[in-house]
Homo-oligomer: A and B are copies of this chain.
Amino acid sequence: MEVRKTGYLLKLVVERLRVDVDAGLKQHNLTWVQSRLIGFLAYRGGQATQKELERFLEVSHPTVVGIVSRMEQNGFVECRTDRLDRRNKLVSLTRNASEVSACLEKAMQEQDRRMFAGFTEGERDQMDAFLSRIYHNLSSPALRPQSPTTMNTGDNNDQNTI
């Protein structure tokens, strides 16, 4: 049976990764994407607009709205309107979240260690290179004869340093 190809293997690995990360994060009452949001805010000095979160997380804006509102409800972030541009909604870390933030960084490193146990430096680099090539293959609409849908394909987010 030809169904289980590399693409599916990729999906399996990512799902396993998500489960794994979520398991470690459960004690903090956080999910993967939420922890990434906290990491980003911490890096940014504790504050960002939803638009910036959207670009960093690379998800749609309604998704950000949902995540932020849940995190606000759980006391991880606070929101207020930007006085300089009232369109912007400023999201900032609460004291509680800032304390959690340090643990998260450690947990991520542990995760990373686990994931690549037995890998040499060169193998990791090669893996990254493969993934980047695949990503770019899938991003380029040029090689795409089958369905010329005018989808989000030409999205100009490709300045991402992936």
Which A residues have a C-beta under 8 Å from some C-beta of B?
1-20, 23-24, 26-27, 36, 39-40, 43, 58, 105, 107-108, 110-112, 114-119, 123-124, 126-128, 130-135, 137-139, 143-147, 149, 151-153, 162
Partner of A11, one of B2, B14, B26: B14
The list of the 6 closest CB pairs from A to B, nearest first, reads A14-B14, A16-B138, A9-B131, A23-B151, A127-B130, A117-B137
Identical copies in the complex? 2
- Cα–Cα, bound, A81→B8 (Å): 31
The distance from the CB of A32 to the nearest CB of chain B, in whole angstroms, is 9
Interface of A is mostly: helix
Whether A110 touches B16, Cβ cut-off 8 Å, given contacts A3-B36, A137-B118, is no
Partner of A135, one of B9, B130, B134, B143: B9
- Cα–Cα, bound, A88→B56 (Å): 45
Partner of A13, one of B110, B118, B134: B134
